[in-house]
Amino acid sequence: MNYSGIIGSDIANGEGVRVSLFVSGCTHHCKGCFNEATWDFAAGEPFTENTEALLFAELDHPWIDGLSLLGGEPMEPANQRALIGFLRRFRAKYGETKTVWCYTGCVFENDLRGATGAGEPIRSRWHVEVTDEFLSYVDVLVDGPFVESLKDISLKFRGSSNQRILSRAERDALRAQ
């Protein structure tokens, strides 16, 4: 996986002061996307152990509230697989003391939840073998594609009114349906 940028003290992409990782690669290609340069999976630099060390050094600051994953698209299957180990280490190191926000153009119920409350599988290219574990580390999921006609600059932490800010509890309730 490649990443296109890291912001060490970000206040725009989640509550508090955060470290934001912009991954490369997105197949949504939303019209009016603010970060079109990250659509290319080869954009930026390879995500390496050194990148992870840099992220942890930034996250270690006491004023940092957590990590935000953006893109590109963190929920691209290849990106999920590349990030899962880092998220495991993040939770092992910080427990619940720092939060993870993840921005995705996917819609939770249609693309990510995996199965309905009745146990019926949801078939989606976005739900892969690591998705449930990946989402278990995410405190807040901002879901839904950016829709240019629904753009609203007054919204906090999202670009268009169709996008939702979902806590774990809200996702659990949606999963149970």
For 3-59, what is each residue's pLDDT tens digit?
A: 999 999 999 999 999 999 999 999 988 888 888 888 999 999 999 999 999 999 999
- Identity (one letter) of the amino acid at 31? K
Element (H, E) at 103: strand 99-103
| pTM of the model as a whole | 0.94
Measure CA of the first residue to CA of the last residue in the chain; give whole Å.
34
Rg of the chain over all Cα atoms, to the nearest angstrom: 15
Spell out the domain ranges in the chain. Answer: 2-176
Element (H, E) at 164: strand 164-167
Distance CA(145)–CA(156), nearest Å, equals 16
